[in-house]
Chains A and B, each alone.
Chain A
């Protein structure tokens, strides 16, 4: 029961969705749409699980005064403040019937003042580390690394005046070596070929893994308990 029922569920759901592609009529195409909403609802419960786990970890840290426990207070406070603002629709002009992100709501204010700048800045930090990696790690040690470097150079130089002036003087028969044209060629020929090969490989991997999961050959998602 601990393993048989989950295997049957996976089989039934997977098979129904594959059949829905070939029989796009009632009830299969309805199943398709319904299952996608079921999937999202279950994902919401996964979010609740994640939130609960987050609280468990940080409250534990605060209780036992572990390292950096004071920062955990910040995490927990921020969590409850935003959650309360959103779930209780604090400050929403039309009350419960209004949108939870309506102008004037505390949730929108906190989104604009904290979440949006924090998320955007966290992502933008990567620009600095990419630059540092370019200087320290990007070395043309081998033929392959040189090809990678040359391709990257052409792409990076394309929008720049240097990229234009380096090659604009080339005569008509050699126009294809003009950096902007070369960049387009690199992207739509060798890059496209490489990405297509990766895509085909991934597709074959997904197809075989999906089949193994549906047929119950692959069971790692069930864990090792209760064998």
Chain B
């Protein structure tokens, strides 16, 4: 079909790049001051973004994981690999719960949407309970129980190792003490909490440094795109 050919041509690619570049410049214009171009791009982003995620959710979840499981024979043109599969009546559960969720839009029966919310909450609570307990608590405590002395070959290396291990063990304990707000932070407890704050500040400083790196990386990507567009355009 003609429509297919048009969108894969170099002209279509060039038009797409120009649209992308102009939208990028419109967003960047906000750095000077708020203006209609930025507002246009911002509002476009909201609409396009919502539709994009809805479309992706429809084709990657709703069709293969709901419609295809309940009505596999109807998937002939859309998902041929599903035709011939057995119907799975269990998938009526998410269909009903999903439709119930939409009752949130009707104030009189909005209370029904709690049933769908309850499933979501129960799922999240049940999954997270065991995994966070194992990976983020038990194993973390286990990993903190490290030998404070272990010969490392040279004296300096051994001193360095011991110092580091003391900082790790002491730092974790003091920082956890800081988070215990049921007891007043005074005396030795308060001093330990203070050390905990210092350790947390070091962690936040490292996070800040990495956050700067992350943001600059994204800016580099955009600047690279704009530069290539500028030098590649036939002015």
Contact = CB atoms under 8 A, between A and B. Distances in A.
Query: Do A and B have CB atoms closer than 8 angstroms in the complex?
Result: yes
Nearest to B9: A104
B8 A35 contact: no
B110 to A, nearest CB: 8
Contacts of B97: 38, 42, 45
> Which of the listed residues B50, B99, B170 has the most CB atoms from chain A within 10 Å of its own CB?
B50
Interface in A174-226: 176, 185-187, 189-204, 206-207, 209-211, 213-214, 221-223, 225-226
Contact of B65 (A40, A74, A124, A225): A40
Main SS at interface, chain B: helix
Contacts of A42: 94, 97-98, 101, 116, 119-120
Contacts of A226: 111
A196 B55 contact: no
Contact of B202 (A82, A100, A115, A147): A147
A93 B136 contact: no
B78 A96 contact: yes
A96 B63 CA distance: 12
B200 A197 contact: yes
Contact of B126 (A18, A78, A176): A18
A49 B215 contact: no
Contacts of A130: 211-212, 215
Contacts of A58: 47
Contacts of B196: 197
B8 A144 contact: no
Contact of A97 (B80, B144, B209): B80
B148 interface: no
A85 to B, nearest CB: 8
B95 A41 contact: yes
B15 to A, nearest CB: 7
Contact of B171 (A7, A95, A118, A190): A190
Interface string A103-114: 111111111111
B233 interface: no
B71 to A, nearest CB: 14
Contacts of B128: 206, 210
A176 B175 contact: no
B27 A54 contact: no
A6 B114 CA distance: 6
Given A71-B43, A87-B58, A126-B215, A155 B221 contact: no
A91 B7 CA distance: 8
Contact of B122 (A12, A44, A156, A200): A12
Q: Is the interface of A mostly helix, strand, loop or mixed?
A: helix
B77 A75 contact: no
Given A42-B94, A97-B80, A203-B132, A47 B54 contact: yes
Interface string A1-38: 01101110111111111100100000000000011111
Contact of B133 (A82, A112, A194, A207): A207
B84 interface: no
A109 B16 contact: yes
A14 B128 CA distance: 10
A225 to B, nearest CB: 6
A144 B197 contact: yes
B105 to A, nearest CB: 7
Given A42-B116, A116-B20, 14 more contacts: A10-B125, A14-B126, A48-B54, A51-B50, A82-B47, A109-B16, A114-B23, A118-B27, A130-B211, A151-B209, A190-B171, A197-B175, A206-B132, A210-B128
6 contacts: A42-B120, A75-B43, A104-B7, A201-B179, A221-B114, A222-B118
Interface of B: 1, 3-5, 7-8, 12, 15-17, 19-21, 23-24, 27-28, 30-31, 39-59, 61-62, 65-66, 77-80, 90-91, 93-95, 97-99, 101-102, 104-105, 110-111, 114-130, 132-133, 136-137, 140-141, 143-144, 156, 160, 164, 167-168, 170-172, 175-176, 178-179, 196-213, 215-216, 218-219, 221-222, 225
Interface of A: 2-3, 5-7, 9-18, 21, 34-54, 58, 68, 71-72, 74-83, 85-87, 90-93, 95-97, 100, 103-128, 130, 134, 143-145, 147-156, 173, 176, 185-187, 189-204, 206-207, 209-211, 213-214, 221-223, 225-226
